[in-house]
Amino acid sequence: MTDLPPHPAIARVRAFLDDIEATDVDRARTHVARNARFVFPGGTTTSSLDDIVRFLGERYRTVTKSYERFDRIEMDGDDIVFCTGTLTGAWEDGVPFEGVRFVDRFVLRADRIILQEVWNDAGEARARRPTAPASGGDRALLAMASEIERLRDRLGKLERLLAAKGVLSQVEIEAHGIDDDERIPDEDPLGQMGDFLGADEEDLRSR
């Protein structure tokens, strides 16, 4: 059995979607009426095809539609076309996604699109997306920040130890916010400093 060709309204919608996916705005413009409107998730509304391409570029790094079916009805002389399917691609930060459901509703008058309304699950999918993998440079910066925090913590402990042994003046003790209850007992001071500095007791005694 030979498949029947799609209705002209469905063929028009499919051609328009293909041109938008290819970011061929000039060709996509041949499928729409002069005052066509486009409504996207979140209520974003525009009459500019350039806005559509820009909106998609801000939301996705790449995106492809896989169509499940097209349905057409006639209402008051206009063609109403629904297409359903899923989205596959990558968010703007490079994290991949797939299986995001969508529904597009088109209204065509005199064989030109006058309205497109879009619904999809992208919001829910974005909320569940994993964190983008850090680049080598990002990982290096994170490691450096972690090491700085570790050294700051050890320096603070060393200052409290020196203050407890009377090495720091009272003014320095107050400036560093060292309380009396943080003072360390007098026994084995060098051994305790070695613990903080990661050095051996003999190394410290020989200096």
CATH architecture of the domain 8-128 equals: Roll (3.10)
pLDDT confidence band for 193 (50 / 70 / 90): very low
**Looking at residues 86-115, what average pLDDT do you find?**
95
Per-residue confidence (pLDDT) for residue 206, from 0 to 100: 52
Per-residue confidence (pLDDT) for residue 176, from 0 to 100: 53
- Whole-model pTM over 0.85: no
Q: State the span(s) of the chain assigned CATH 3.10.450.50.
A: 8-128
Is the pLDDT higher at 162 or at 188? 162
Percentages (nearest 5) of helix, strand, coil residues in the chain = 45, 30, 25
pLDDT confidence band for 184 (50 / 70 / 90): very low
Per-residue confidence (pLDDT) for residue 198, from 0 to 100: 53
Is the pLDDT higher at 88 or at 135? 88
Is the pLDDT higher at 159 or at 60? 60
Is the pLDDT higher at 156 or at 31? 31
CA distance 148 to 160: 18
Residue % of the chain over a pLDDT of 90 = 51
Phi then psi dihedrals of residue 80, to 5 deg: -110, 120
pLDDT confidence band for 15 (50 / 70 / 90): very high
pLDDT tens sequence across 105-154: 999 999 999 999 999 999 999 888 776 555 555 556 555 655 675 676 67
Residue 4 has pLDDT above 90, yes or no: no
- Annotate 65-90 with DSSP letters as a single string: EEEEEEEEEEETTEEEEEEEEEEEEE
Phi then psi dihedrals of residue 161, to 5 deg: -65, -45
pLDDT tens sequence across 22-34: 999 999 999 999 9
Per-residue confidence (pLDDT) for residue 196, from 0 to 100: 46
